[in-house]
Amino acid sequence: MFRKVAIIAAVLVGLHVGDILLLGTSPTSSLVANTLQLIACGLGAAMAFKASQRARGLARPFWSMVGLGLATWGVANLGWMYYENLLHETIPPLSVVRILFDTQGVFFAIALFLDKEKDSPRFDAETLLDSVQIAIVFFSGFFGLYYVQLLSGGANANTDAFMTWSFQVINFSLVLLSAIVTLAVQTKRLRTLYGGLTAFLIINSVFSGLADYVQSVHNVQTGTWYDLGWTVPFLVCALWATWWQEPIQSTEEIAIAKRKSLGALAFRNVMLGVAPLIVLSVVAQIGNE
């Protein structure tokens, strides 16, 4: 299966290169590039969901969250194609499309905060509430820092640049958090899982961050080499999900996984406790209206 996915990934990159060299930044090139990005995103999401089916314990919701994160970007890109390729217009500032692009990281953050000690394949009430809290943080941050400014007439030429840098900060914060989680987990199985996520988040932050910066701040059109900045991370995720296999745990590792770690518990609750503080900070900056 890995070989088939690798061949598909190579073909998609080849088509992308051909599109850039032959069609440039024409409307046709834009449509082709967006379609190839959507296919790459769909491939990555499909492989993540397939990995979830063969996983056990915590790895099952982990891969589901990775797949949902990629799928969210794919839905947002459909909206982008609607405006760019069908209407030939710029996406409105308050469009839900922008919200979907910006909230992709919610699912990666949820994957990072899954309870390592329970190692459960299901979402219980506690995990669901933690996930809702993480979603509130993201929504409050973007709504308070961007959409409230637009609604109050405070948008200016620097708004897109500000949101681009916010996107970078969130991505690299996820990388840092993922690296900490990788070092903190006690079993080789989870270190492999979260180590892979850390590697993917690094690639995604660098490639998509560069593409987002030049296209949002410098208004570079679709149909350039920067388009690969969106495609490559999805293909990397597809290859990672296809390559990953659930390892066989020894009796000793199972015993280690069940141990309660005071440090891990404290770290998890401190990070979740940051959520209401962020919301409070955002609300404090909103005017009386």
Q: What is the pLDDT along the chain (289 residues), one digit of tens a residue?
A: 889 999 999 999 999 899 888 888 888 888 998 999 999 999 999 999 999 999 988 999 999 999 999 999 999 999 988 888 888 787 777 777 877 877 888 899 889 888 887 878 887 777 788 788 777 777 766 666 666 666 666 555 566 666 677 778 778 888 988 998 898 887 888 999 999 999 999 999 999 888 888 877 777 777 788 889 999 999 999 999 999 988 775 444 555 545 555 555 666 666 666 666 655 665 565 555 5
Helices (H) and strands (E) in the chain, counts: 12, 0
Q: If you ran DSSP here, which 8-state letter would residue 227 be given? A: G
Backbone angles phi, psi at 149, to 5 degrees: -60, -40
Token pair recorded at residue 159: 């708004």
Task: Indicate the angle between helix axes 105-112 and 125-142, nearest 10 degrees.
Answer: 140
CA 257/CA 240 separation, integer angstroms: 24
Ordered by where they begin, the domains of the chain are 2-284 (1.20.1070)
